[in-house]
A and B are shown apart, each in its own frame.
Chain A
Amino acid sequence: MNTILQWCDAVLSNEIWFYLLTTVLKLVLIFAVILAFVVLSVWIERRVAGWIQDRPGPNRAGIPLFLLKRFGSKEKQPLKNILHFFGIPEDCWIARLCKWLRLEGEIPTFGLMQPCLDGGKLFLKQELTPKYVRKVYFTIAPMLVLGPPMVAAAVIPFASTVNTCYGEISMCVANLGIGPLWIFAISGLSVYGLSLAGWSSNSKYPFLGGLRASAQLISYEVAMGLSIIPLLMMFGTLNLQDIVQYQATNGWTLLPFWGEGLTIQRWAMYAPIAISFVIFVTCVFAEANRTPFDMAECETDLVGGYHTEYSSMKFASFFMGEYAAMVIGSALVVTLFFGGWSIGFGADAALSAWCEWVAVLCQFLMFLIKLVAFIFFFVWVRWTLPRFRWDQVMKLGWLVFLEVAVANIFLAAAILYYIQ
């Protein structure tokens, strides 16, 4: 035992091994979070859609209790049997809590099993590759859509820094000095997937979908990049970990209510930041190809858009890629505008001073909560607004957002220069 501990100590004391091990751990964690959130956001989407449209949504896929023969089927009141099995009286608070949670029937999963079962279904479906497609590009296109959001997640900080006895761990896979640019560059590459899918399908509707996708993504990338410049002027850095640290001490960008962010300059900066927020969030919608901007796959005029010819898991890859892009977009919005992992209410520094690991855990949870909230917002918008027309999308991108974003930069510069 002692030898093993000594060996672990020796390995961790080596700087390179320590760095490698922590990085791999963080990589696995962030990858798991993204994949879990892809599944979760599918569920949120369908449940919220049901809620908005006043119908239940997918709530039936649960863990059927007849598998647990001992407790009997739904009709035989398994809850009673379970309570009896553990010797709990039927009118105590545990039983009442179970009844309040509607546990009498089956183990409630609130439909959470639905995305998993959908995934299984898509795995088992027959995969059909039409004869007239260009095979190589037809195969790599779904990979090119699903891959970039996963890589882009590397720079998003999900908690602050921890000091261990072996060294400092920054809770972010790659602490690059160019954070947001990395995300723009890598998620911009998914346009190859969309346009290649459209082209290689060798049929009309997918082709039109691919063309629309590439035109739309390029147009909105310009406005997206320009819209965050006022923020970067204020932060003075491109490192996402530093940006979140700045917000933790000076107040969140969009809610500067605590910390040292209550100066006149900061309140004056609120106007350009609010404009930035509106433009940036809209561009994230466009980049993630979500309604009201899902021109590339809008079924009313393009059948299914670029993925018309796809089936089975290849289709599911497009689907997952879209949701992964949405998760990354939400994470970036949260990081830039809502303080990232920062807990707020000035609690970060105090908690870090008390116990760094607890602070990191709380910050991670806070980050996830904010992420879920923003994903909910995405879904809410999708089921509230109708789809734009194609020319309206292009007009909004080039004639409104680009100009407003450029003007916004000058406004922010003037405020930073004149109001001290």
Chain B
Amino acid sequence: MESAISSILFYVFAVAAVLCAFGVVAFRNPVSSAMNMALCFGFTAAVYFGMGAQFLGIVQLIVYAGAILVLFLFIIMMLDVKAEEHARRSFPLACIAVIIAGIFAGFVTKVAISLPGATSGECPALVLCESIGDLAPGAVEQDTAAKNHTPYGAAMPELSPAAAAIELGADEATAAKATAFPDTKLLGKSLFTKYNIPFVILSFALLAGTVGAVALGRKLRKN
């Protein structure tokens, strides 16, 4: 029952998000487009929540809907909205946009279709492990636990809230009570250990953006 509800909600939110994304392009009024984008972010966050990724969902809301889009709106409101509403769209520009969007959609579809288990609707990681176990009997031990091995032969970590809690240093008694994945902690741990260098490099990119904005602002003020 629970999984039925969550899959129904997933489709509702996903369809709503896609419709809002269409609205962003379809509306003539830039403020309406921006508000549609905000709704789209909200529905995407709802999809994250449905998957149990609460932290990602809330970050989506705080960063995109709460900050970035408000700044968008801030700029749009200073435009002459009436002029934008009556502006005509050029046909060649639309064609180029459609081609780029089509290529991107094609990429995503290709990746989704070529994932293992895409046709049967199973978890890609599990299917991959099973097939490796079948194809190369010498590489992985042929026991009942073959499923629990990654393609590289290492033991795959157990996926359960309790196991995740133990990995983060909780004791057995508290871990046994865990019902949801400690997603904030897991995300933080992987960001600051495994993916620390890309994380730091990305923040330098943001810093560069900030410094650039300050430099531009300074120059304008002098003139």
List residues of chain A with CB under 8 Å of any chain B CB: 16, 137, 176-178, 181-182, 184-186, 188-189, 191-192, 195-196, 198-199, 207, 210-211, 214-215, 217-218, 221, 225, 238
Is B66 within 8 A of A221, CB to CB? yes
List 30 contacting pairs A-B, 8 Å CB cutoff, sorted by A.
A176-B54, A177-B183, A178-B54, A181-B55, A181-B62, A184-B66, A186-B61, A188-B65, A188-B66, A189-B61, A189-B65, A189-B66, A191-B66, A192-B35, A192-B38, A192-B73, A195-B73, A195-B74, A195-B77, A196-B31, A196-B35, A198-B77, A199-B77, A211-B77, A214-B70, A217-B70, A218-B70, A218-B71, A221-B67, A238-B184
- Tally B residues with Cβ within 8 Å of A: 22
Chain A CB within 10 Å — which of B54, B58, B65 has the most?
Answer: B58
Partner of B184, one of A177, A189, A198: A177
What's the dominant secondary structure at chain A's contact region?
helix
- Taking CB atoms, residues of chain A closer than 8 Å to B182 are 177
CB contacts (< 8 Å) of B62 on chain A: these are: 181, 184-185, 188, 221, 225
User: Is B18 at the interface (CB under 8 A from chain A)?
Assistant: no
Q: Tell me if B1 is interfacial: C-beta within 8 Å of chain A.
A: yes
Chain A proximity of B195: nearest CB distance (Å)? 20
B77→A177 contact, CB < 8 A: no
Chain A residues, Cβ within 8 Å of B35: 192, 196
Q: Pick the contact of A199 from B31, B66, B71 — CB < 8 Å? A: B31
Contact present for A211 and B74 (CB under 8 Å):
yes
Q: Is the CB of B66 within 8 A of A185?
A: yes
Within 8 Å by CB of B31, from A137, A178, A189, lies A137
Tell me if B180 counts as interface (CB < 8 A to partner A).
Answer: yes
Closest-by-CB residue of A relative to B1 is A16
B55 to chain A, nearest CB (A): 6
The interface residues of chain B lying within 8 Å CB-to-CB of A198 are 77
Interface 0/1 of B41-65, CB less than 8 Å to A: 0000000000000110011011001
A16 to B180, CA, bound (A): 17
Chain B residues, Cβ within 8 Å of A215: 74
Question: Per-residue 0/1 for B2-40: is the Cβ within 8 Å of any A Cβ (1 yes, 0 no)?
Answer: 000000000000000000000000000001000100100
B65 and A181 form a contact (CB under 8 A)? no
Q: Given the complex of chains A and B, what is the CA–CA distance between A185 and B59 in angstroms?
A: 8
